[in-house]
Amino acid sequence: MGKEEDIANVLIVDNDPEVARLMLEILARKGIRGHLVGDKDSALDFIGKGSCDFVFTGETIDPRSESACRREDGFDLLEKIGANWPELPVVMIAEAAGAGSQGQRQIVAKAVRAVRCGCCDFLTRPPQRAKIEMLLDIFLPSHDVSTVALAHENTRCLYRIVGRSPSVIQTVELAKRIAPTSAPVLISGDSGTGKELMAYLVHHRSRRAQGPYVKVNCAALSDSLLDSELFGHEKGAFTGAHARRKGRFEMAHGGTLLLDEITETPTRFQAKLLRVLEQQDFERVGGSESIRADVRVISTTNKDLLQEIQQGRFRQDLYYRLSGVRLVISPLRERRDDLPDLVWHFVNQYAREVQRHIAKLDPAMMNIFAEYHWPGNVRQLRNVVRTSLILGVGQTLSLADVSWLFDELQPLAQQQCGGYDPSGEMITHSDAGLGGVPLEQVERRAILDTLRQTGGNRTKAAKVLGISDRTLRDRMHRYRREGSLQPA
């Protein structure tokens, strides 16, 4: 399994060759792809393709022009970006201040204007290498993560499947093997495991990759709308049908149709769907014309289909038609090896929102993650990491500043989950007794367990432990600094 990298893209909008040379050198050293343009229109065109992660722009993009309007292209670009891509980080590089207090006032005024236009920082020429590197570390974190599958279109990342556990590797390899065929695929797994991501991987690696990829959320459509959404309708077919409308099957001709949460469809509709899948033709609602559609169907479900069949909620013949090949995605509680990679992946993805540089993960937090059962799977982990990034402080990602998460992230009492020992190796509850454990580790465990029981309330925890608030704060500060605040 080869390692593929997801490379960030930085746009440099500047005609100063010295600045461009410095910027491109720094980006190359950091493994970041740099793109150099010299005017506003080219910059907007590049950003509009959805492949830009950071922008450095000069105050004056075209210094050869004497037009006052033209000289302010840098600020014009800021306003355009702020109006259309408000979350895209932008840094302006302006001319250095002139001598004296008047020059200082001018540079301050420019900086204020740039910030009001949405700039996240303001530099003067020549920009300092250390400052640029610091900004890149904050807004474009690039912690290494193990990636099983990754695809790009030009400079835009289409999908990325992160992990290293055997179950994820096996599922992805199977998906790659079946992708070139036309066999229907049934993907099953709990909510939040990434079924739709796996479906797109199958489409992208298939011979239909250049064709349309159409999604239908069956759970979001009422019984009366399913026929119209999937097969279309003719003008006047029902109240509100003011014009002919193509259905999703017709729209997906030559490509792939994803039927998300297929078990949410009523049995009456399942009978019609089975006929369409068998014959590859259908009629629009209110019409009589037979329409053929060459479509590969991928279905997903978060339920046990065999149990649904036994209880009469899903047609057995439709199940056999949809499950040409089955892919099963394991829940996160069975993929604890993937936790560090997934956490770093979400740090890479969301740290720039809060302009926070994360250098390490709190071992105590990772131990809590390893013991938790994750009913919401990867989607829930993503939200927890994002919340911790927003509400926390410092360069260590932890739950210390998000006390209510301690209550939420409690392990199931009967579950035999694992944690991390001081060397970073995974342990299970059967290995986690206190016999032979150093006293300092017992103390750390007592502190963490008591904080969980009190919902992160340090004052209550100190009273339960019989120590002062200050002693508890000092212990936690020392353990966090040493990276050893974790159960023994």
Q: What is the pTM of this model?
A: 0.74
pLDDT of residue 460: 74
pLDDT one-digit tens code per residue, 202-224: 999 999 999 999 999 988 887 77
CB 265 within 8 A of CB 303: no
Q: What is the chain's mean pLDDT, rounded?
A: 83
pLDDT of residue 416: 41
User: At a CB cut-off of 8 Å and minimum separation 6, what does 322 contact?
Assistant: 184, 186, 262, 277, 297, 299
Task: Extract the residue ranges of the chain whose pLDDT is less than 70.
Answer: 1-6, 61-72, 98-99, 155, 412-442, 455, 463-464, 466, 479-488
pLDDT of residue 38: 87
Distance CA 59, CA 87 (A): 20
pLDDT of residue 341: 96
62 φ/ψ angles, rounded to the nearest 5 degrees = -120, 90
- Collapsed DSSP state (helix, strand, coil) of residue 132: helix
pLDDT of residue 468: 72
pLDDT of residue 441: 67
Q: Walk me through the domains of the chain, giving residue ranges and CATH numbers.
A: 9-139 (3.40.50.2300), 166-328 (3.40.50.300), 335-482 (1.10.8.60)
How many residues are listed for the chain in this entry? Answer: 488
Around Cβ 324, how many Cβ atoms within 10 Å? 15
- Comparing CA positions, the residue from 372, 353, 373, 369 lying closest to residue 361 is 369
Q: Which H or E run includes 433?
A: none
User: Concatenated DSSP letters for 80-102?
Assistant: HHHHH-TTS-EEEEEPPP-SHHH
pLDDT of residue 318: 94
pLDDT of residue 121: 92
The percent of residues in the chain predicted with pLDDT above 90, rounded, is: 45
What is the distance between the terminal CA atoms of the chain, rounded to a whole angstrom? 35
Residue 405 has which token pair? 């998460």
Distance CA 93, CA 74 (A): 9
pLDDT of residue 414: 39
pLDDT of residue 251: 92
pLDDT of residue 346: 95
